Amino acid sequence: MRVLMLSKACIVGIYQRKLEHIAQEGVTLRVLVPPSWRDERGVQALERVYTAGYDLIETPIWLNGNFHLHCYPHLGREIRQFKPDIVHIDEEPYNLATWQSLFFAQRVKAKTLFFSWQNILRRYPPPFSWGEEWVIRHSDYALMGTDSAGEVWRDKGYTGKMKTIPQFGTDTDLFKPLDAPTQDHPFTIGYIGRMVEEKGVLLLLQAVSRLQGEWHLRLVGGGDMLPQLYAEVERLNIAERVSFIGQMPSTQVIHEYHKLDVLVLPSLTRSNWKEQFGRVLVEAMACELPVIGSDSGAIPSVVGEGGVIVPEGDLDALYDALAHWQAHPQARAEVGKRGRVRVLSHFTHAQIARDTVAVYRQMIEGIRDTSSRSLKIGEGT
């Protein structure tokens, strides 16, 4: 089976472990990625970290950073030369790169699937609505990051085969607890991700400022909200207790988790966005860190027994959860262990790869799906 995947997400080194696992399942895999991707955090360059058993091909990109209109000038040539059985379009149906991939896949009579995280029903104007409708009418399969995304696409008219499989798993050989964790540090809270309004980082600063005793907050990542966060730290008079770390290579983030006692993801639902998964949650849980998440989007069903869920935007509830973990280190350890068990059961790269290859085989062989292995994110597992 020959599969060509187009994925700008796979420029991130730690995500490439899934690709190695897909290849180990007997798939001849070629993955096309851009040299870099630009977003509000800055420019993420291609990291070549896990590349065994498949071809990771860097291909030029046009309109880098434009989520809807970026495209690949050499894509048609790549598809014609490789002659795939399946083109795996790791993009949303309303994007130009998806339309481009489907067009060239049809030219070589390859089957196609697309992936979506979109968990809010949104209507787009032409030409995006036209392209979206064309994709959902002509794709052979759809992969959804969450069940709520699947509901959105059913509402939009997709009637084809569909399965809920998170886009990536977690490398539990990389993300794991220290054999001998250090104890000589204050209660340390972490946030890892985009520094943007909808992630709730401003609320986190306000909550930690209420804590008593010794504590420290580490903020890892970049984004356009950084100046406002710096100002809030000064206003709250907590500058000596807050560290801004900035962006770092994906394979180095593990060292940040090892410095933490709890990870917080206080996401805030907005009219055009709610939390789609929260990958840092499963990375933290794999490291046996308890997590605190808001009830935005998929967070509760990802966290399960691996942490605490608080109402989004509720400053008092977030403070109470932090104060509880600060006062109860033994409870932190117990919940952390349960979180890692959850990750090992549902969120490993190997698991995601097996479920994805099972879909490929259904597409090629017409096998009825009898698998119960993939986690149905959003059903309160």
- Number of domains the chain is built from: 2
Distance between CA atoms of 85 and 195, rounded to whole angstroms? 40
pTM, entire model: 0.85
Q: Do both 282 and 165 map to the same domain?
A: no
pLDDT beyond 60 at 381 = no
Q: Same domain for 145 and 193?
A: no
Provide the domain limits for residue 335: 187-345
pLDDT, one tens digit per residue, over 166-201 is: 999 899 999 999 987 666 789 999 999 999 999 999
Average model confidence (pLDDT) across the chain: 93
> Are 132 and 280 members of one domain?
no
Tell me if residue 16 falls in helix, strand or coil.
helix
Work out the widest C-alpha separation in the chain, in whole angstroms.
65
**205 with 216, same domain?**
yes
- The Cβ of residue 252 has, within 10 Å, a number of other Cβ atoms equal to 10
CATH number of the domain that residue 152 is part of: 3.40.50.2000
Bigger pLDDT: 116 vs 381: 116
Instruction: Please choose, from the candidates 219, 268, 166, 295, the residue with its C-alpha nearest in 3D space to the C-alpha of residue 41.
Output: 219
| Matching residue, tokens 């052979």 | 140
Does residue 337 sit in helix, strand or coil? helix
**pLDDT of 377 above 70:** no
Take residue 138 and report the two structure tokens written for it.
């002509």
If pLDDT is split at 50, 70 and 90, which confidence band does 367 have?
Answer: low
d(CA 55, CA 296): 37
| pLDDT of res. 181 | 67
Q: Is residue 381 part of a domain?
A: no
DSSP 52-121: TTSEEEE---BSTT-TTT-B-TTHHHHHHHH--SEEEE-S-TTSHHHHHHHHHHHHTT-EEEEEE---S-
Q: What would the two tokens of residue 272 be? A: 């055009």
Residue 370: is its pLDDT beyond 70? no
pLDDT tens digits along 43-100: 999 999 999 999 999 999 999 999 999 999 999 999 999 999 999 999 999 999 999 9
